[in-house]
Amino acid sequence: MSLSRAGTVLVVVAAAAVAGAGAGLAGCEAQVLPTDFPAPLVLGGRTVAAQSLRRGAVVYTRACRACHGAEGDGHGPSARGLRPPPRDLRLGTYKFGAVAGGQLPTDADFRRIISGGLHGTAMLAWALPPAELDDVIQYLKTFSERWRTESAGEPIVLAQDPWQLRISEGIERGKRVYHGLAQCAVACHPAYVSREEIVGFTRELTHLRAQEPRPDLYAPVAKASDYGYPILPPDFTFNTLRSGGSAADLCRVIAAGVGGTAMPTWKNVLPDADLWAMAHYVKSLADLRDTPGATALRAALLAGTAGEKTDGSGGRRATP
C-alpha cells in the first residue's frame, strides 16, 4: 500500500510482533522513501540538510503520522474521535511555546513538548534519541509555509521567582491579581472567589469599580480560536493542565500566552512578580483537582450565588 505527500512516498510494510515484558504487537511499521528533498531547505531561518529532512520523515511516519496524518492536517487514521483533535501542522500555529503567543516556537519548545507530551490529550511523551528528535522537528516545519518566511520568536525570559520562599504570600497575591488586576474571570476562566471579593480586589489593585460580574461566573466561557473550533479555558480545579503543573510551567504559559487562542501574552503587561504570583495561585487551585477540597470550594461558591441558573455541573468540563 502506498501513500504520498508532495513526492514523498510512504510504503507500509508488515512488522513482526515484539515479544518481551510489557510489549505488544508492533502492528504495521511505515517506512518512508523521500523524493522531495533534493536540496537543503531554509526553515525558520535555519538551513536544514536534505538528509536530515529525509530522516525526519522516517521518524514522523513511525511516531506522528497515525494522528497528525501524512499531510500534517491532523486527520491521521487514529485521529477520529480524539478530543482535543491532533494539531493541524499546516497552520503553523502552536499552543505552548515559550514565545509570545502567535509567534513560531523555538526548537527548544518543540523538544519540550514532544519529549514531555501534552497531559490529558493523545499527545504522548516521546523518548526519541536527540538526533532523531532534531530531525523530526525540522521535518514538522515542512508542513507550514510560515517556516519558509519567518523565524522562531524570541524566548520569553522571566525574573527569578520572588515567592519561592514564601509561597502562601504568593498565592494570596496571585488570587488578587487573577480576579482583580488581570480580570481572568471577566470573560474567560472561572472565578474562585465571591463576587464581593472580586469587587474588592479590583478596587484595591486598580482603584476602579469592577464591572458587573457575568451570571455564569463560576464556569469557563467558550472562545473562538484559530484551530477551527471554539475552546473552553480550563477550570483549574477540574481540568488537567496540558503543559505541566509546576509553578515554572504555569508561569511560562501565563507569560507567553497560548498561541491561536484567546489567552493573551502577559509578559510586559504585568510585572514578573505578579505573573509568578498568579502561577502559584493557579497551582494551588490545580492541587485541589480530584480532592474533596475542590468539591467544597465549588459548593461554597455556588451557595453564595443562590438563585442563579446553573446546569448542575456548572459547565466546568473544558475542551483545551
Q: Where are the domains of the chain?
A: 2-149, 167-303
Asked if the model's pLDDT at residue 23 lies above 50, the reply is: no
Among the listed residues 183, 189, 70, 64, the one whose alpha carbon sits nearest the alpha carbon of residue 135: 64
Lowest-confidence segment of 30-39, 81-90, 178-187, 244-253 by average pLDDT? 30-39
Among the listed residues 98, 99, 105, the one whose alpha carbon sits nearest the alpha carbon of residue 87: 105
Its sign, for the CA torsion 213, 267, 224, 250, is: negative
For the domain spanning 2-149, the CATH number is 1.10.760.10
Q: What is the DSSP letter of 86?
A: P
Upper half-sphere CA count for residue 172 (Cβ side, 13 Å) = 4
Identical fold for domains 2-149 and 167-303, yes or no, is: yes
Asked if the model's pLDDT at residue 19 lies above 90, the reply is: no
CA distance 127 to 78: 20
In this structure, whether the domain defined by 167-303 belongs to CATH 3.40.50 is answered with no
> Residues 82-103, buried b or exposed e (16+ Cβ, 10 A)?
eebbbbbbbbbbbbbbbbbbbb
Residue 61: how many CB atoms within 10 A of its CB?
24
For the residues 66-89, what does the mean pLDDT come to? 95
DSSP secondary structure string, 205-251?
HHSSPPPPPPTTTTS---B--TTSS-BPPP-TTTSPPTT--SHHHHH
Write down the pLDDT at residue 107: 98
Cβ atoms 276, 247 nearer than 8 A? yes
Write down the pLDDT at residue 10: 44
Predicted confidence (pLDDT) per residue in 195-231, tens digit: 999 999 999 999 888 777 888 999 999 999 999 899 9
Distance of alpha carbon 160 from the chain centroid: 23
Write down the pLDDT at residue 213: 80
For residue 234, give Cα distances in angstroms to 190, 226, 240, 292, 320: 8, 17, 8, 19, 7
For the residues 129-141, what does the mean pLDDT come to? 97
- The model carries a pTM of 0.83
In sequence order, the β-bridge partners of residue 4 are 9
Residue 182: how many CB atoms within 10 A of its CB?
21
What backbone phi and psi angles, to 5 degrees, belong to 14? -70, 145
Cβ atoms 93, 260 nearer than 8 A? yes
Among the listed residues 231, 238, 251, the one whose alpha carbon sits nearest the alpha carbon of residue 297: 238
The beta-strand segments (E) located in the chain are 2-5, 8-14, 28-33, 41-43, 46-48
For residue 84, give Cα distances in angstroms to 41, 102, 137, 164: 31, 19, 21, 33
Asked if the model's pLDDT at residue 30 lies above 70, the reply is: no
